[in-house]
Amino acid sequence: MGHQILKTSRLKKLLDRAMPIILSLGVFLAVATVAGLIIDVVSSGWHRLSPGLLTNYASANPAEAGLRSAFLGTIYTVGLSAIICIPLSIATALYLTEFSGTGRLSSILRYNIANLAGVPSIIFGVVGLGFLVYGLGMGRSIIAGAFTLAILTLPLVTVTCIEAINTVPDDLRLGAYALGATKLQVAAHVLLPRALPMMLTGGILGISRAIGEAAPILVISGLLFIREDPVSLFDIFTVMPLQLFNWISRPQMAFRELASAGIIVLLLLLLGLNAAAIVLRHRLTRRLT
């Protein structure tokens, strides 16, 4: 009997030791793939990194080609989409958590917002094309692109904002209500200050996603080759992922290298944004608690 127990415990011990290795395989696979890609991109693109890459317009000559119009297009559309999306998401989240009550409609809405976050981005592009570009007559403009990206990121950011509000201790909510605060006051004085750092982090994650989107913008803008700066919200535009797509699809090696350099710029932009999210959250959290 005692022998039996000894045996099983040995097997258990072995499994216990092996488990971390088995489980970490997934992590290793992901990290290795990303690392491989980054090494590949950096080694083929780093010598193409130059100020000209950001200041030159697109060109048929790889030595003169740059990202200028695409970079500006990305900044304008994504920046504008964030300005539209983040306040809307916060308002939606506050409505669904505090104002709409706990009825059937509210739970249906909540469930479907989570579903929307999983809809392929090309669908949003098609909706944007039909509704914004043609329906509202915005044309293939920056503002149409910005609204499309805003609608695309809205569910994602809203879900994060709802989670952020749910992390606020119920004690504080009820404490404020017990003092005679209205729903609006509870939202403004108790929920929002506490949830804001996490909400903004969610907003920046939404921006990060919008920056990398090529498909919906391809549908909206349709343009891959622009040689002028956008000056108004109703100007035509292109974005970085589209420019990169254009370069990759060309046969010359030089353009492939340019594409790699462009990817490095895009990655740096994303890393910068994520770093900003962390710093922002850290600062705000420290100030509030």
* Site residues for other proteins per CB under 8 A: 102, 169, 171-182, 185, 189-190, 193-194, 288-289
Judged by beta carbon, residue 232 or residue 289, the one nearer other proteins is: 289
Judged by beta carbon, residue 4 or residue 289, the one nearer other proteins is: 289
Q: Taking the mean position of all CA atoms in its chain, how far away is CA 9?
A: 47
* CA 257, 259, 262, 268 torsion-angle sign: negative
Minimum CB separation from other proteins for residue 177, in Å? 6
Residue with tokens 């989570």: 114
Distance CA(225)–CA(189), nearest Å, equals 49
Judged by beta carbon, residue 181 or residue 254, the one nearer other proteins is: 181
Distance CA(141)–CA(76), nearest Å, equals 11
Phi-psi category of residue 180: left, alpha or beta, with phi > 0 → left and psi -120 to 50 → alpha: left
Minimum CB separation from other proteins for residue 162, in Å? 15
Minimum CB separation from other proteins for residue 91, in Å? 20
Judged by beta carbon, residue 61 or residue 102, the one nearer other proteins is: 102
Minimum CB separation from other proteins for residue 204, in Å? 23
Judged by beta carbon, residue 102 or residue 232, the one nearer other proteins is: 102
Pair of tokens at residue 266: 């895009």
Vertex 87, ends 161 and 110: CA angle to 5°?
40
- What's the burial of 62, exposed, middle or buried (CB within 10 Å: 0-12/13-18/19+)? middle
**Is the distance from CB of 161 to CB of 199 less than 8 angstroms?**
yes
Minimum CB separation from other proteins for residue 185, in Å? 5
Judged by beta carbon, residue 17 or residue 286, the one nearer other proteins is: 286
**Is the distance from CB of 219 to CB of 126 less than 8 angstroms?**
yes
Q: Report DSSP letters for 214-249, one per residue.
A: -HHHHHHH------S---STTS----HHHHHHHHHT
**CA torsion angle for 130, 134, 137, 143 (degrees, to 10)?**
50
Minimum CB separation from other proteins for residue 207, in Å? 28
Minimum CB separation from other proteins for residue 164, in Å? 15
Judged by beta carbon, residue 177 or residue 225, the one nearer other proteins is: 177
